[in-house]
Amino acid sequence: MASRGGGTPAASGASGPAELQLPQGPRGLSPPPPPPPRNYADHNAPRRRRNYPPHTAPRPLPALARVSREEAGGGNRWAVTGPAMADRRPRARPGLRRSGHNARAVAQTGSSVENKSKSVRSTLAKQGLGVFPDLRNGTPRLMLKRVMQNQPQVSPLAPLISNHEDTKEAHSEVPSQRVSSMGELQLPDVAPEDTSTTVFNMKKKRRKFSISEFERAAESRLPQYQAQSALDSTVMTRSLRMSVGSLLAPDTVEKRGLLRRPKTRRAVDMQAFEGRVEQNLLKSKGQNDLVDSQSASGIRTSMLTSDAEMMMNSTELFVQPLLDEESQNKLSALEPQLSDSKTSAQRSPISDADQEEARLEGLVSSVSTNQERTQRYSKSTGLDDEHVDRMSHVSPETPAKQGEEKQDHSQQSNPVAKISVAEEEVVCTAERGASAGHSEHLEKKLAEKAELQITAGHASRGETEVAPSAGKEVEEGSTGAHSSPRAEHEITRGIGAESLGRPSHAFSSFEKPEVTPVDETDEQGDELQDEAMMLNLDSSVGEPAEDEAEQPESQEVSMKTPTFVRAPPHKLLLSAKPAKASAPSFPQSSPLKLLQPKTAPKRLRTSQKKPREPQVPRSLIKAIFRHFAKMPVTRDAFQIVEKCSERYFKQLSDDLEAYSHHAGRKTVEAADLEVLMRRQGLVTDKMPLRVLIERHLPLEYRRLLIPVAVSGNKVIPSK
Amino acid sequence: MKRTAPRSTLRKIIKKHKPQLRLAANADLLVHLSFLLFLHRLAEEARTNAFENKSKIIKPEHTISAAKVILKKSRG
């Protein structure tokens, strides 16, 4: 105070009490309560500095202050003090007096600002203090601004900035020592640090901010703040606390370390699993020798195999898994692949449901059919990689479901194979149909397609025995398999065709005696798209299954390698044909044909139906629909639109035939069309057909449809 | 942006469904017009469904529910 208010300690001091008294007397204002002696030297100090340390600065001599203060006069008071006065006011009567003074200051501001400020400025200038600008605190807005600026800002970024500021203006310490009862506006205790942390001081260069220093300062400040209960609500404390709190937070986080969410996995019941595996093996086609110990060991080993190992296992194309253990290895190998690719929510209910049956079928089915794997993968996607046994439980679940009924079957592999075929069909159909939500569709198609393909495949070879059983099983399985097709549908969509197909091919190869189709499919696997590959898979799977049926007893899971070599090449054509035959039933089949692999379909196309059914071009439908919808449309929605348009054309042709027949004609005329549109509600009394034509058709067509009269008594088009 | 009406295709489609039926000269234009209006109605309905679901994209389920309504309406 002394340094700052050196020039005007008296003035400031004098104005303290004088301020209160003067206005009352000459101005006749309501008498305020008697003011305590006040020293406004710091208040009159140069205003350049924003960080007024109001309360900590020592008071100047009251006498001097008062004298200089009186000079300043009312204007000074009003002009500069408003909020500043409040700052400097001692704690006595903070609220009332401050508000009163502020009000008065504000009221007086406009008129007497300039006069008083000038006088003040002159006074201050004499004292060598920096003079605040004219409108510095003249208007209420500026006063408030000053208040806010003078408010010590506590910013986490600028705690140590203003050290040099303090040094620069040593006298600032003096006023800062004074405790002001600003209450909400200021924190007296914080003053020294607060001044240092003023954010708005733009004149001074900011000292380089040191985080460690800040932290230390914050830590030291923290107890101070905590001590002040009265200031809890202030913004500054809150902000500081927040900053300090944020400091603490990372520490706590670091202390905890990187916590990973513990994966909750179901514990594997080795005993039960192995027991069931053994049971399953015992039940399988009468091959008991290899099963018991080896399978159990194989399972164990499979479960323990590392991912890399499993991956390596899966890449072998013609592995002959000597037994279940190999197949188990592959199963486990494939599982991580697939489980990584997708997680299917369905698997959990499925897996939980029929574990027993799944296990029963597990090894057998896994060994017998690779197609099952695909379904298994669909179930298993989302399963943890580590839990191979779970996978095995779940994976054959679908086949297992169907297998339950077939447990009485002597040849369990066959039914499982058939079902897998059926399921593959389902996948194919799902792919082809592209109607994602129609599980019912899938179900029906599953039964249809499976039967269709199986019967077709069988017919080519004249194997009737398998067909009926297959068909029966398919039907049985279809009910249970509806969930699987859905999952598979998803899976096959999500999973890359080749990645799925190659291992499946590999497995099917060693399983099935028919290798040629597998070979071909393997070759084409890269070129094929999903559905095509599935088609080939189906065919290849179907045939081997039949072969297995042929040699049920003799065939061990570990295969007859040579048989696949022997497989006649013509089987591929036959297998592909039935697969293709099933395709055309779908509306979208014709475009899909284009996606067939180059090698196989080449010969098929010539024999296949060359005439493609007429279709309104997809692009046109897309363009029209998009234009009318004015919104982005998903691809699946377009498929549905196409289906709807086809159904619409069917309805339309029926109606037109009815109308023309009703009129006794064999030709559909424009009148029939108008009747149709009228019945559809497009043409009404308010909306004639002509208007619709004009609205929606381009000129060329309009010209053709709407008769226009031209000069020369001509009508175009002429009737 | 919109292309010409696939007149021959429309004829073939109707022929496929009703081989014995003939079409007048410019009747297929009116068939095309009715098809346009059908798609228009379908799109509007699907758009409404999508809005009701607060979705900014027309999804298959919106289209399916729209199709059920509009196909019934377009039966004549």
**B49: chain A residues, CB-CB within 8 Å:** none
| 3 state SS of A168 | helix
DSSP characters over A552-594: TTT--SS--HHHHHH--THHHHHHHHHHHHHGGGSTTHHHHHT
Are residues A306 and A335 in contact, defined by beta-carbon separation less than 8 angstroms?
no
* Tens-digit pLDDT profile for residues A334-373: 445 544 444 444 444 444 444 544 444 444 444 444 444 4
Top-confidence residue, A45 or A639: A639
pLDDT band at A136 (very low <50, low <70, confident <90, very high): low
**What pLDDT is recorded for position B22?**
86
Query: What are the two backbone dihedrals, phi and then psi, of residue A636, each rounded to the nearest 5 degrees?
Result: -65, -35
**Token pair 């053709």: residue:** A704
Top-confidence residue, A432 or A638: A638
* Tens-digit pLDDT profile for residues A166-178: 455 544 444 444 4
Q: Cα separation of A9 and A14, whole Å? A: 8
- Residue of A613, A630, A652 with shortest CB distance to B31: A652
Cβ atoms within 10 Å, residue A685: 6
| 3 state SS of A718 | coil
* Tens-digit pLDDT profile for residues A365-396: 444 444 444 444 444 444 444 444 444 444 44
Helices of type H across A316-354: 324-341, 347-353
Q: Cα separation of A711 and A637, whole Å? A: 50
Enumerate residues 6+ apart whose C-beta is below 8 A from A163. A196, A207
- Structure token pair of residue A119: 């006088």
The Cα of B47 is separated from the nearest Cα of chain A by a number of Å equal to 6
Top-confidence residue, A344 or A309: A309
Are residues A93 and A20 in contact, defined by beta-carbon separation less than 8 angstroms?
no
Instruction: Kindly tell me if the per-residue pLDDT of A149 is higher than 80.
Output: yes
pLDDT band at A282 (very low <50, low <70, confident <90, very high): confident
Query: Can you name the residues that pair with B23 across neighbouring β-strands?
Result: A668
**B36: chain A residues, CB-CB within 8 Å:** 624, 696-697
Top-confidence residue, B11 or A536: B11
Top-confidence residue, A183 or A713: A713
**What pLDDT is recorded for position A697?**
84
Instruction: Kindly tell me if the per-residue pLDDT of A618 is higher than 60.
Output: yes
Enumerate residues 6+ apart whose C-beta is below 8 A from A393. A273, A351, A355, A358, A359, A362
**B59: chain A residues, CB-CB within 8 Å:** 634, 636-637
**Token pair 């070759």: residue:** A523
The Cα of B44 is separated from the nearest Cα of chain A by a number of Å equal to 6
**B23: chain A residues, CB-CB within 8 Å:** 667-668
Query: Can you name the residues that pair with B50 across neighbouring β-strands?
Result: none
* Tens-digit pLDDT profile for residues B8-60: 888 888 888 888 988 888 888 888 889 999 999 999 999 999 999 998 888 88
**What pLDDT is recorded for position A586?**
46
Percent of chain A beyond pLDDT 70? 21
**B75: chain A residues, CB-CB within 8 Å:** 651, 655, 680
Percent of chain A beyond pLDDT 90? 0
Q: Cα separation of B36 and B42, whole Å? A: 10
Instruction: Kindly tell me if the per-residue pLDDT of A180 is higher than 80.
Output: no
* Tens-digit pLDDT profile for residues A462-496: 444 444 444 444 444 444 444 444 444 444 444 44
* Tens-digit pLDDT profile for residues A674-709: 888 889 888 888 888 888 888 888 888 888 888 888
pLDDT band at A309 (very low <50, low <70, confident <90, very high): low
Are residues A655 and B71 in contact, defined by beta-carbon separation less than 8 angstroms?
no
Enumerate residues 6+ apart whose C-beta is below 8 A from A591. A618
**A688: chain B residues, CB-CB within 8 Å:** none
Query: What are the two backbone dihedrals, phi and then psi, of residue A586, each rounded to the nearest 5 degrees?
Result: -85, 145
| 3 state SS of A714 | strand
* Tens-digit pLDDT profile for residues A231-268: 555 555 555 555 555 544 444 444 556 666 666 666 66
**What pLDDT is recorded for position B25?**
84
pLDDT band at A1 (very low <50, low <70, confident <90, very high): very low
What letter does residue A5 receive in the DSSP assignment? G
Which of A363, A316, A677 has its CA nearest to residue B29?
A677
Which of A472, A491, A518, A490 has its CA nearest to residue A370?
A518
- Residue of A627, A669, A696 with shortest CB distance to B37: A696
Nearest CA in chain A to B37: A682
Average pLDDT over all residues of chain A: 57
- Structure token pair of residue A44: 């009159």
Q: Cα separation of A398 and B46, whole Å? A: 36
CB burial string B26-60: b at 16+ within 10 A, e below: bbbbbbbbbbbbbbbbbbebbbebbeeeeeeebbb
| 3 state SS of A503 | helix
pLDDT band at A403 (very low <50, low <70, confident <90, very high): very low
Cβ atoms within 10 Å, residue A632: 12
Top-confidence residue, B61 or A540: B61
**What pLDDT is recorded for position A200?**
53
Q: Residue A715: enclosing H or E segment and its boundaries?
A: strand A714-716
Which of A578, A537, A540, A535 has its CA nearest to residue A429?
A535
Q: Residue A693: enclosing H or E segment and its boundaries?
A: helix A689-696
Q: Is B46 on the interface with A (CB under 8 A)?
A: yes
**B32: chain A residues, CB-CB within 8 Å:** 697, 701
What letter does residue A437 receive in the DSSP assignment? T
Nearest CA in chain B to A679: B76
Q: Cα separation of A502 and A528, whole Å? A: 11
**What pLDDT is recorded for position A591?**
52
Instruction: Kindly tell me if the per-residue pLDDT of A35 is higher than 50.
Output: yes
Query: Can you name the residues that pair with A667 across neighbouring β-strands?
Result: B22
Query: Can you name the residues that pair with A668 across neighbouring β-strands?
Result: B23
Indicate the burial class of A712 (C-beta count within 10 angstroms; 0-12, 13-18, 19 or more): exposed
The Cα of B54 is separated from the nearest Cα of chain A by a number of Å equal to 13
**What pLDDT is recorded for position A709?**
81
Cβ atoms within 10 Å, residue A149: 18
The answer to whether the CB atoms of A680 and B42 lie below 8 A apart is no
**B60: chain A residues, CB-CB within 8 Å:** 435-437, 634, 636-637, 639-640
Lowest mean pLDDT among A22-36, A95-109, A590-604, B59-73: A95-109
Cβ atoms within 10 Å, residue A8: 34
Which of A595, A313, A572, A609 has its CA nearest to residue A457?
A572
> Mean of the pLDDT values across residues A527-550?
43
pLDDT band at A51 (very low <50, low <70, confident <90, very high): low
Instruction: Kindly tell me if the per-residue pLDDT of A12 is higher than 50.
Output: no
Instruction: Kindly tell me if the per-residue pLDDT of A298 is higher than 70.
Output: no
* Tens-digit pLDDT profile for residues A54-79: 665 555 555 554 544 444 444 444 44
Q: Cα separation of A561 and A371, whole Å? A: 19
**A636: chain B residues, CB-CB within 8 Å:** 59-60
DSSP characters over A585-627: GSTTHHHHHTTS-SHHHHHHHHHS--SPPP---HHHHHHHHHH
Instruction: Kindly tell me if the per-residue pLDDT of A625 is higher than 80.
Output: yes
**What pLDDT is recorded for position A626?**
86
pTM of the model: 0.31
Q: Residue A708: enclosing H or E segment and its boundaries?
A: strand A708-710
* Tens-digit pLDDT profile for residues A433-464: 444 444 444 444 444 444 444 444 444 444 44
Instruction: Kindly tell me if the per-residue pLDDT of A642 is higher than 50.
Output: yes
The answer to whether the CB atoms of B47 and A651 lie below 8 A apart is no
Q: Cα separation of A249 and A335, whole Å? A: 41
The answer to whether the CB atoms of B75 and A651 lie below 8 A apart is yes
The answer to whether the CB atoms of A670 and B38 lie below 8 A apart is no
Instruction: Kindly tell me if the per-residue pLDDT of A587 is higher than 70.
Output: no
- β-strands A667-668, A708-710 pairing: unpaired
The answer to whether the CB atoms of A656 and B71 lie below 8 A apart is no
Q: Cα separation of B35 and B12, whole Å? A: 15
**What pLDDT is recorded for position A712?**
84
**What pLDDT is recorded for position A38?**
74
- Residue of B4, B22, B44 with shortest CB distance to A666: B22
The answer to whether the CB atoms of A625 and B74 lie below 8 A apart is no
Q: Cα separation of B18 and B2, whole Å? A: 28
Q: Cα separation of A624 and A650, whole Å? A: 20
In B4-43, the residues whose Cβ lies within 8 Å of chain A are 4-6, 9-10, 12-18, 20-24, 26-27, 29-40, 42-43
Q: Is the peptide bond before A717 cis (omega within 30 degrees of 0)?
A: yes
Instruction: Kindly tell me if the per-residue pLDDT of A203 is higher than 50.
Output: yes
Query: What Rg value do the Cα atoms of chain A yield, rounded?
Result: 45
